[in-house]
Amino acid sequence: MIKIFYRLGNEIMLSRSQTEFATISKENVLWIDILEPTGEEKRATETFLGTEVQSRDQTEEIESSSRFWEEDEGIFANTSFLSPAGDEMTTDPVSFIITDYTLTTLRDIPLRSFDLLQMKLQARPELFPDAFTLFLEIMEKRVDLDADIVELFAKDTSQYSKRINQQEDINEAFLLDINQLQENAMLIRANIVDKQRLLSNLVKSHRCPKDPELREEINVLIQDIASLINHINFTFERLEYLQDTVLGIINLDQNRIMKIFTVITLLIMPATFVASFYGMNVALPFDKYRLAWLGILGVMALFAFLLWYVFRKKKML
């Protein structure tokens, strides 16, 4: 699906067909948004822009040179947008092409932030005089959403900390949940750093407008991203601490169980010795007395009590 936003007087018009390229001049096209493009839509866009649109493989490459580069036709940038998916996080690639007049976006999934921006663009066209302003609006909204994700992530981490303090059932599943949070934290950090690198490259580009207000806006975005990186780094360190705490609690529980089994074994060891001694099929002391078994039981109980007393005295119980 393709959406073409172009100027007509003081208004922003919307076209949903690539055939409109033939009737619109490049100077008037502000935004080309392509969602799950067909081959025909992609070729028509490439012909209109006079350059190649990034392929799916290019958008997923991790080399710096594949995430941001410049050509005579314009600036090419690839980044990823985070999306919560249950307990996990997913990343969806989004490509940008910024030419002198037009912003082109290529994506494979619907994004609510794009839909809201498109409505704002048509309602307040005076707020978006050029492609760079539109691009920065997209990045600003995305950074705000990333900040919300980081905030929710920090709250989830706090909930796990409270569960540990409240001595809830700490088991393997609990430890796996913390591990999943660590995986999400690493994914969030990598995604935010990718945006930081993109904006840092953009502000260094000779194609970036020299408008001081626009450059100040980019620098503010970079500072906001830096604060998000610091926040997610702190959360990741906190998760490592929680993981160590959980492992320590599990080890203490295992040691406590082993201690109980060891003490029980030691307590019954003297009784076992006495029972084994009098279980031999030979003549033994007191074996001719009918109630000798009561005395033997008493001796066994006495040995067990003495061991228990010694353990208590040594504070081993």
Q: Which of 224, 251, 278 is the last residue of a domain?
A: 251
Taking only the tens of pLDDT, the chain with its 317 residues reads: 888 888 888 888 888 888 888 888 888 889 899 888 888 888 888 888 888 887 766 666 666 566 788 888 888 888 888 887 777 778 888 889 888 888 999 988 888 888 888 888 888 888 888 888 899 989 998 898 889 888 888 888 888 888 777 776 777 777 888 888 888 888 889 889 888 888 888 888 888 888 888 888 888 999 999 999 999 998 888 888 888 887 777 787 778 778 777 777 777 777 777 777 666 665 656 666 666 667 777 777 777 787 777 777 776 66
Q: What is the pLDDT of residue 230?
A: 92
Strand order in the sheet with 103-107: 11-15, 2-8, 29-35, 103-107, 88-98, 74-85, 68-71
Residues 280 and 246 reside in one and the same domain: no
Q: What is the pLDDT of residue 285?
A: 64
Separation in Å, CA 294 to CA 261, 274, 291, 306: 27, 13, 6, 18
Instruction: Specify the 3-state DSSP secondary structure of 264.
Output: helix
Residues 218 and 295 reside in one and the same domain: no
Q: What is the pLDDT of residue 58?
A: 65
What is the CATH number for 267?
1.20.58
Residues 305 and 282 reside in one and the same domain: yes
Residues 274 and 247 reside in one and the same domain: no
* Token pair in block for residue 75: 């600036």
- Determine the structural domain holding residue 258 and report its residue range: 253-313
**How far is 77 from 56, CA to CA, in rounded Å?**
13
Do 125 and 8 meet the contact criterion of CB atoms below 8 Å apart? Answer: no
Residues 217 and 307 reside in one and the same domain: no
Closest CA to 185 of 160, 157, 162, 165: 157
Q: Which of 201, 230, 251 is the last residue of a domain?
A: 251
Q: What is the pLDDT of residue 158?
A: 85
Q: Which of 227, 251, 275 is the last residue of a domain?
A: 251
Q: What is the pLDDT of residue 227?
A: 92
Separation in Å, CA 144 to CA 50, 81, 82, 139, 244: 33, 12, 12, 9, 32
What is the CATH number for 143?
3.30.460.20
Closest CA to 239 of 192, 182, 290: 182
Strands 88-98 and 103-107: antiparallel
Residues 283 and 179 reside in one and the same domain: no
Residues 194 and 74 reside in one and the same domain: yes
Residues 21 and 111 reside in one and the same domain: yes
Residues 47 and 68 reside in one and the same domain: yes
**How far is 73 from 71, CA to CA, in rounded Å?**
5
Q: What is the pLDDT of residue 291?
A: 67
Q: What is the pLDDT of residue 277?
A: 67
Contacts with 247 (C-beta within 8 Å, 6 or more apart), sequence order = 175
Question: What's the number of domains the chain is made of?
Answer: 2
Closest CA to 81 of 71, 96, 70, 66: 96
Q: What is the pLDDT of residue 9?
A: 83
Residues 77 and 199 reside in one and the same domain: yes
Residues 49 and 70 reside in one and the same domain: yes
Residues 272 and 199 reside in one and the same domain: no
